[in-house]
Each structure stands twice: as structure tokens, then as C-alpha cells.
Amino acid sequence: MNTTVLIVSLLAGFGSTLVLAFKIQEKLLEIKSAGVYSWGMIFSYSLVTAGALYASWFGVMEGYSLVAFFVGWFGALYTGLGTSLGLHRHDTHGGFKAHAAVLFLLSMGAWMGGMKKWTWVPDHKLHHAKEDTILDPHSPYLFNKNGDGWGLLWSHIGWMLVDRPQLEKLKKTDTSKVPFIKTEQYLFVPCLLLGFLVPFAFLGQEGLWISFLRMFYMIHVTFNINSSGHRFGRIVYEKSKSRNGTWFGAFLTMVGERYHANHHADQQSAFLGWRWHDIDTGKWLLMVLEWFGLAWDVKRPRYSNKLPPPTPSDVPLAA
Ligand SMILES: [Zn+2]
Ligand SMILES: [Zn+2]
């Protein structure tokens, strides 16, 4: 391990995150909405960023083997599906029902990817209920009604580094029925650590560093739905600012979440890509699970696979 590069990566990771958090707090003060620093998130995100920086240097100097690349890619897909199918489509929106073993594996994927049901589900419900208003936990239009760079940063990562305590009382979601939510407090950290330790045990250093890249990549893919998914792309119905991305965005996202305007238009649908060729691995996995009898009551899109999409009058506003 190169100590100099490690120290530079740590300084860059922690330094850039702290500066960003301070700047976000300044922006919040400008709109008279002082935030509270989330030191746990600031620490975790700094560490992942520092790890990803070192991992990039390691990749340039040593290269990653095909096996390591596959482990990283599979880990990204698994953690992404855990979040998208587990926390999002099942736990938050009830888009399908599934065998407990499937739900447990999806929960493990989400935990391995650093996503917690405990906060994820109430935050996301509030996002739908107050979409792109001042009460949305992560709207890119918070500082400017037309959207700006600070708003984009806020919606992407800022809202997790600096909390707005005034939103807490709005998060009244009953999470008691969310599967494995009680188990989460015991299994979240072990799953998170296993995501790094298992590749390290089998592949050594490159297993560890590819896991940092996997984590960095997939959290930004997820954050990107909150930022770009409400700023860039094609609007599906006029009452929402959410957008569908390009096929390339969907390809990079892998799990189907880049069809974010589709999702806001039809929140219960377990399929996010409505057309057969839309890249939505979550939908494809659900179809396989359904075929094997491991998932059922899978809610199809209300608008079938046909575009053009619904007119605004067809679509109820988010509940
Ligand atoms: Zn949603
Ligand atoms: Zn959204």
C-alpha cells in the first residue's frame, strides 16, 4: 500500500466532503432554514470517497483483473437491486409481494450498499408527498425555482450531509410492517462490512479497492435519481418535474430507476421501464421470480408498455 497516496486520498475525501457540507449549510442559511450537520454521514461519505480515490490510483498503477471487475460489477448490481426492488418498489410502494427469503436477500443487498430502510422509506414517502416543494427532502429546486447548481448538489448529496430537522415531524410513515426492519439494526453494519471483507479475503487488496469503487459508483447512481432524475431528461406528465433519462443513463443505472418520470406517473407499478426494451434489470428479475412462484401480485404499469404516456388528467398527484 502506498502511504503517501493513501494520505492524499484521505485528505481529499474528508476535505472535499467537509467543504461541501459547510457550503450547503451556508446555502440553507440564505433561505433561513438552518441545518444540522450529520457527522455520521459526513464521515462515511468521506471514507468512501477517499477509498474510491485510492482505488482509482490502484487501478491505474496495478490494474484490476477480470475477476475483480466482475466482483465489483456483480456487487453493484446486487446492492442496486436490493435498494430498487427491496427498499423502493417493495417496502415503500408495495409494487409486488415475494417470498420472505427473496425479501431478506434484497434487504441484505441494500444494507451491503449502505442503504437503511429506517430512514430510506420515510424520506422517500415524503419525497413523493411533497415532490419538488420546499418540504421535499431532496429537491434540486430548493434554492431556485428554476433549479441551479447548488440545488443539484443539494439533491444529490447535500441533503444527507446536512439535515433539515424541520422535516422530521412530517415523516410519519409507519415502518413497523416493513420486512426485516427490526433485524436491520443488527445486520446493517455486518452486511456493509462483508461487502468489503469477502472480496478482500478472496482477492486480496484488489478485492478491497474494487469494493470501494463498487460502493462509490452505486451510491452515486442512486443519488443521481434524486438529482438528475428531477432535472435532466424527458418529462412524462406535466405536473411532475421528474424526468426519464436516455438509454445510456438507464444502462449505467442498470436497475431501471432512471425511468424516474415513469415512476412518478405510476408509483405502484413494479416495472419502471414500461417498454420491453427499456433497461430495467429489476423488472426482468421480478419476471423470473414470478415465473418461479417466488414473487406474486406484481403490479404492471397502468399504461401498459405503450407510449405516448398519460396526460396529466389521467394521473393522480402523489398521495
Ligand atoms: Zn418512489
Ligand atoms: Zn423523484
Three-state SS across 130-147?
Answer: CCCCCCCCCCCCCCCCCC
How far is residue 204's CA from residue 209's CA, in Å, rounded to a whole number? Answer: 9
Give the environment of ion ligand 2: residues with CB less than 5 A.
242
One pLDDT digit (tens) per residue for the chain, 319 residues: 899 999 999 999 999 999 999 999 999 999 988 899 999 999 999 999 999 999 999 999 999 999 999 999 999 999 999 999 999 999 999 999 999 999 999 999 999 999 999 999 999 999 999 999 999 999 999 999 999 999 999 999 999 999 999 998 888 888 888 999 999 999 999 999 999 999 999 999 999 999 999 999 999 999 999 999 999 999 887 788 999 999 999 999 999 999 999 999 999 999 999 988 999 999 999 999 999 999 999 999 987 655 555 554 454 444 3
- Sign of the alpha-carbon dihedral angle for 289, 215, 75, 259: positive
Residue 267 alpha carbon to ligand 1 centre in Å? 6
The span from the CA of 126 to the CA of 247, in Å, is: 28
Go through 52-77 and write b for each residue having 16 or more CB atoms within 10 A of its CB, e for each that does not: bbbbebbbeeeebeeebeebbeebbb
Give the distance (Å) from ligand 1 centre to CA of residue 57: 36
Give the number of whichever ligand sits closest to the CA of residue 140.
2
Ligand 2 midpoint to CA 127 (Å): 7
**pLDDT score for 318:** 41
- The three-state secondary structure class of 92 is helix
Predicted confidence at residue 236, as pLDDT, reads: 85
Given CA atoms 178, 187, 280, 310 in this order, what sign does their dihedral have? positive
Instruction: Tell me, in angstroms, the distance from the centre of ligand 1 to residue 93's CA.
Output: 7
Q: How many CB atoms lie within 10 A of CB 25?
A: 17
- Compute, in angstroms, the gap from residue 264 CA to the centroid of ligand 2: 6
Distance 39 CA to ligand 2 centre (A): 25
pTM: 0.92
Place of cell 403490479: 299
Q: What pLDDT is stored for residue 197 in this prediction?
A: 97
Q: Check if the beta carbon of residue 112 is closer than 8 Å to that of residue 81.
A: no
Ligand nearest to the Cα of 263, by number? 1
The residues spanned by each domain of the chain are 3-314
For residues 30 and 159, give the distance between their C-alpha atoms in angstroms, rounded to a whole number. Answer: 15
Cα gap 277→287, rounded to integer Å: 14
Question: Which pLDDT belongs to residue 237?
Answer: 79
pLDDT of residue 306: 57
